[in-house]
Amino acid sequence: MILLHKMFYFILCICIYYTNAIPPIEQTMEKLIKLISDDQVLKPAEFKFPQWEKKLGLYRSEVRLDFFGEPLQAELRKNKYIYVFDNNMFATGWISSVLLEATVYGRAPKIIDTERLSLAIDAIETFHDHNQNESSVPLMTFWSQIYNQTTNIWQSAPDNLRYLITDFDDSLLLIEDILKLLGIKNIAQLIDKIRTSSAAFKDVFQIPPDFDDTYLNIGLGVQLKLLQDKYPSLYLRWLQTNSNMKKLIDLTLRYAYKPSSQNLDQNTIDPRTYFWIRDFVRDNPQAVLATTWAQNITEVRTIAHRGIRMPFNLNNIDVTVGANVIYGITSAIIYDLVDFKDYFNQDMQTLYLSTASLIAWSIKNSMKNRPDLAQVYYPSHYNFLWYGSRSLFLLELARRQDKSLPDVFNRVYSLLSDVYRSDVVKFFQDHVRSDKSSYDDFLGTNDTNIFGKLEPTGEDRIFSTAQTVNILIASFTYFDTNTGRLKWITNEKQLDTIKIMINNSISWLLENAFKYQPFNCFFSGSVKGFNQLPFWYPANIYQFLNGTTFDPDHFDTENQSLMDSIVGVSGYIDETTYERMISQKHFNVSTPTTFNGYNVPGGEFPFWSSQPYTHSVTLLALAQYNNLDD
């Protein structure tokens, strides 16, 4: 009997010993891997409010409303039950990419198996643009498309939002019941706000394919190619629907913004873009810049009424989209994806250099103090910076392997290494919280407690801090293919500072990775409030879709709709003229010349957040830190 007790005690000791023996970093990674895995849809569900439609293989991501301020308001933003599940490609594409990246560059327990990855890849496959008349064109959409028999075209459709708005009043009754159940007061006020926001939702529907999802998918394809040993068959499957690189490059160039072109399709851009980008255009008149949407004015004129249109019928530039296009191109060339490099012609090289220059320029110029316009769809600054840093990391690696690349890659390397190894570090030093370890973007930063005192909730703190680590690692280390370790770039003077910054943030993540809401703001509509409507900004093109021009000073807003209007800037406007235009009113509204942040009254906007995305980038930060050579 005693012996048995002793045995038991002995085993217990061993167990305790081994539990303690697992270092905290491994434990945290295990827990993150489990949480990420739990957030993948393994059983598809149909919409039957309040049950959301969920598509097999996708990871959880949700639409929330950025209310802020008093506890009741803040609750509407962060409540566990108040969100709409969204079936988009972006979150799942990123989570898959991040998990693969952590596998390659990090040291971690097994992150994802073939079966789960294959579910995600299959799901992503369904986000192809079905309106292409050639096969295997890797052009992707944020939401998957459904066929519209009336208009004979495939249309993007955000399932749950569409259902919710189609039978809005039925849903409302249910929403009210649920809110009452949750004990949320002021329901009438909330319903009112949801009503106004859902009206704003409508113009983000029916969108064309975009170059962000498109180049995210290209980067993913390259990773699958590099990991063929680990995940056999997945790359070949990917190739079946993504091999037409010629068409991809044709489309990228066709829809690019070329301010000095004579063609309206190419030289016209959203007036909000022009407002912050104009000095860059002045200094780089021959620029060719990657845009957001795969649609031009000629096309929108005829196809808008069949159900595919860019928001406000015009293309724009978002630096985040640019960063992802740059990464897609960089990885496709360095790792020789299909025959991509055969079509990497002079125009495409110009697009690559111009777009990278714009990214460096916008970081150096703090987005001209208009992040709301520069990151018009993707407000998270930490996320944007990380997307940009990934190209630098690849370029550094290629240089160390003496890969022969077109000269334009050296120029982009210079631009990115300069900005990431100085300006971006400075940005972090200026924005680190008082603990010298963690970072906030904007979710919940302007919340107050019941006494009206400022009490930030840190909802994007985990995400922003993890991305900071990922950016610093991407900027100051390279992957040594011989040892499989990440090595410091030793000729950097500030390396000691960087190591301390990374150490601090890693310690913070180990302690706090599960203590705050793991939210992020990876996507949003382009309009965050009245000030982000394009009509108030100087423009020189005022037309209806049918080509008839109109006068904004005599526009009858009561009886006419701007829905079918094209308000844009064509070509270059000299600065003196532009300054005068800024001082004038447009549609009887003064130009909004300043931006006061994402938490000002009247600026409550819908945003997309994905918890497994936050967990994945945290995992990436820890796995890479765990693989650093000291």
Ligand X SMILES: *[C@@H]1O[C@H](CO)[C@@H](O)[C@H](O)[C@H]1NC(C)=O
Is 483 a binding residue for ligand X by CB under 6 A? The answer is no
CA atoms within 13 A on the CB side of 246: 3
Is 455 a binding residue for ligand X by CB under 6 A? The answer is no
Q: Looking at residues 503 to 522 of the shown chain, list those that interact with ligand X (rule: CB under 6 A).
A: 503
Query: Which region, judged by CB under 6 A, interacts with ligand X, from 212-220, 260-268, 353-361, 389-397?
Result: 260-268
Selected from 5, 17, 43, 133, the binder of ligand X by CB under 6 A is 133
Mask 204-243, x = binds ligand X (CB under 6 A)?
Answer: ----------------------------------------
User: In the complex with ligand X, which residue's Cβ is closer, 118 or 529?
Assistant: 529
**Tokens representing 565?**
């209007």
Distance in Å, CB of 412 to ligand X, minimum: 25
Selected from 228, 233, 240, 263, the binder of ligand X by CB under 6 A is 263
Is 446 a binding residue for ligand X by CB under 6 A? The answer is yes
Is 449 a binding residue for ligand X by CB under 6 A? The answer is no
Q: Looking at residues 563 to 602 of the shown chain, list those that interact with ligand X (rule: CB under 6 A).
A: 564, 588, 596-597, 599-601
Q: Strand 477-480 vs strand 268-269: parallel, antiparallel, or unpaired? A: unpaired
Is 24 a binding residue for ligand X by CB under 6 A? The answer is no
CB-based contact 624:106 (threshold 8 Å): yes
Cis peptide, bond prior to residue 534, ω within 30 of zero: no
Q: Looking at residues 303 to 322 of the shown chain, list those that interact with ligand X (rule: CB under 6 A).
A: 307
Distances (CA, A) of 479 to 393, 399, 405, 416: 8, 11, 18, 18
| Alpha-carbon gap, residue 504 to 193, rounded angstroms | 40
User: In the complex with ligand X, which residue's Cβ is closer, 133 or 491?
Assistant: 133
| Alpha-carbon gap, residue 35 to 32, rounded angstroms | 5
Please spell the DSSP secondary structure of 400-444, one letter per residue: HTT----THHHHHHHHHHHIIIIIHHHHHHHH--TTSS----STT
User: In the complex with ligand X, which residue's Cβ is closer, 254 or 580?
Assistant: 254
| Alpha-carbon gap, residue 385 to 340, rounded angstroms | 26
Distances (CA, A) of 160 to 62, 122, 323, 407: 10, 21, 29, 47
Is 369 a binding residue for ligand X by CB under 6 A? The answer is no
If residue 244 lies in a helix (H) or strand (E), which one and from where to where?
none
Q: Looking at residues 597 to 626 of the shown chain, list those that interact with ligand X (rule: CB under 6 A).
A: 597, 599-601
Distance in Å, CB of 347 to ligand X, minimum: 12
* 567 DSSP 8-state letter: E
Residue where the block lists tokens 């009997």: 1
Distance in Å, CB of 359 to ligand X, minimum: 24
Which amino acid belongs to residue 473?
A: I
| Alpha-carbon gap, residue 289 to 63, rounded angstroms | 30
Selected from 24, 228, 500, 580, the binder of ligand X by CB under 6 A is 500
Distance in Å, CB of 380 to ligand X, minimum: 16
Selected from 51, 135, 151, 577, the binder of ligand X by CB under 6 A is 151
| Alpha-carbon gap, residue 439 to 466, rounded angstroms | 9
Residue ranges binding ligand X (CB under 6 A): 69, 133-134, 148, 150-151, 254, 263, 265-266, 296, 298-299, 307, 446, 499-500, 503, 544, 546, 548, 556, 558-559, 564, 588, 596-597, 599-601
